[in-house]
Amino acid sequence: MTLILGNEDVDDLLTMDDVIKALEPAYRNIAEGRAVAGGRADLVSETPYDPDARYWLKMASGIVPDLEVGTVRINSDIVTWPKDGNKLRRVKAPLAPGKRWVGLVLLFSSATGEPLAIFPDGAIQRLRVAGSTGLSIKHMAREDCHVLGLLGTGWQAGAHLEAACAVRPITRVNVFSPTQGHAEKFAEDMSARRGIEVVAAITPEDAVKGADIVVTATNSMNNIFFADWVEPGMHLATIRDGEFETAVLKRVDLLAIHDPGNMGDDHIHAPPGLTIPDLGKEITEVEGFDEILKSPTLAQVVAGQAPARKNADQVTCFLNYHGLGFQFTATGAAFYAKAVEAGRGHELPTEWFTEDVLP
């Protein structure tokens, strides 16, 4: 049987602890050269939906042999770039029937090749991104981190709060949103949920001032965190190229990235004449970008193959964007095991997704 699972199954079954426990050995496997990451590709074209929008077909894959699974993640999006004041925002339009988005993970057995499960990528995506930040905190931040400065109040921000709490004794979170009401609601909800002090800050600088850990988890296409705000001993993490002013990186003593091969735009395939408003050029044009590419990967950090923090004053930083397919492999395997155990999902005949001819 091939299981069709949903985001609600992820929400019900998979905890942040599960995710961090699943990701940590997979990262180690990557560093040891046992697991495989790769295959990130974005295909971009025009779309009949709107001449200024783009159809964006994105793939990433991974194999974690110890878990006996491989995955392919596919996103099939209509991307638009509405102006928000004088800022440009990237918005995926929910145009599938019922005003829905399309992101799928296909989980295969590396023992038999068979498709074990198909599920949406949304709930897992949130957990794996935040889980990776959690691993960076676990392996790079000071042990005695208590205060989290959080820019952003969306879905990713909430998961990041949980990830930080999973690996450090966080007692206070200062959160900022350009929409003050969002920050207040987030603070109220999270205080209640986690039983810690979560406070809405008036300015982004207030949110990060004095923080041990700073996380930016927004969909902003403009700088929201600046070099002047960096304090000794901070651990920094960002989920989007451009959230950090590039000068921030000059204040960082230990930097970790996902994968140097994944940082540029090489994986984007588009017709030559097609414009793409937000191709992430900024960081690649920075003086010192080549140095950034030489930074250790989070996998190397987790495996102890990278220099460790030397003292309480060093600034550490994880660039948590252009993530890797194997994160879905590890997290997906943990989710699948729990789903099978709980008897979740629609069971379809595996024969529907296999064949008796050899292509």
Q: Which is nearer to a copy of itself, 49 or 289 (CB)?
A: 49
CA dist 305 to 33, 284, 299, Å? Answer: 12, 26, 8
- Closest C-alpha among 256, 215, 241, 214 to residue 30: 256
Q: Which is nearer to a copy of itself, 104 or 247 (CB)?
A: 104
CA dist 273 to 45, 217, 277, 287, Å? Answer: 10, 32, 13, 28
Q: Which is nearer to a copy of itself, 246 or 329 (CB)?
A: 329
Query: Taking the mean position of all CA atoms in its chain, how far away is CA 139?
Result: 17
DSSP 278: T
Least CB distance from residue 157 to a copy of itself, whole Å?
14
Q: Which is nearer to a copy of itself, 247 or 274 (CB)?
A: 274
Least CB distance from residue 276 to a copy of itself, whole Å?
12
Q: Which is nearer to a copy of itself, 231 or 259 (CB)?
A: 259
Least CB distance from residue 337 to a copy of itself, whole Å?
16
Residue for token digits 């399309």?
102
Which two tokens mark 159?
A: 């998961």
Paired with 225 in beta bridges are 244
| Exposure letters 11-22 (e unless 16+ CB within 10 A, then b) | eebbebebbbeb
Q: Which is nearer to a copy of itself, 15 or 109 (CB)?
A: 109
Give the integer Cα–Cα distance in Å for 46 and 271: 9
Least CB distance from residue 346 to a copy of itself, whole Å?
7
Query: Taking the mean position of all CA atoms in its chain, how far away is CA 235?
Result: 17
Least CB distance from residue 325 to a copy of itself, whole Å?
8
Q: Which is nearer to a copy of itself, 61 or 136 (CB)?
A: 61
Least CB distance from residue 272 to a copy of itself, whole Å?
5
Least CB distance from residue 90 to a copy of itself, whole Å?
11
Q: Which is nearer to a copy of itself, 212 or 241 (CB)?
A: 241
Cβ atoms < 10 Å from Cβ of 167: 21
Paired with 108 in beta bridges are 70, 115
DSSP three-state, residue 72: strand
Least CB distance from residue 297 to a copy of itself, whole Å?
14
Least CB distance from residue 349 to a copy of itself, whole Å?
9
Least CB distance from residue 299 to a copy of itself, whole Å?
12
Q: Is 290 exposed, middle or buried (0-12, 13-18, 19+ CB in 10 A)?
A: exposed
- Closest C-alpha among 128, 126, 135 to residue 316: 135
Q: Which is nearer to a copy of itself, 4 or 227 (CB)?
A: 4
| Exposure letters 262-284 (e unless 16+ CB within 10 A, then b) | bbeeebbebeeeeeeeeebeebe
What interhelical angle do 122-140 and 155-167 show, nearest 10? Answer: 40
Q: Which is nearer to a copy of itself, 42 or 253 (CB)?
A: 42
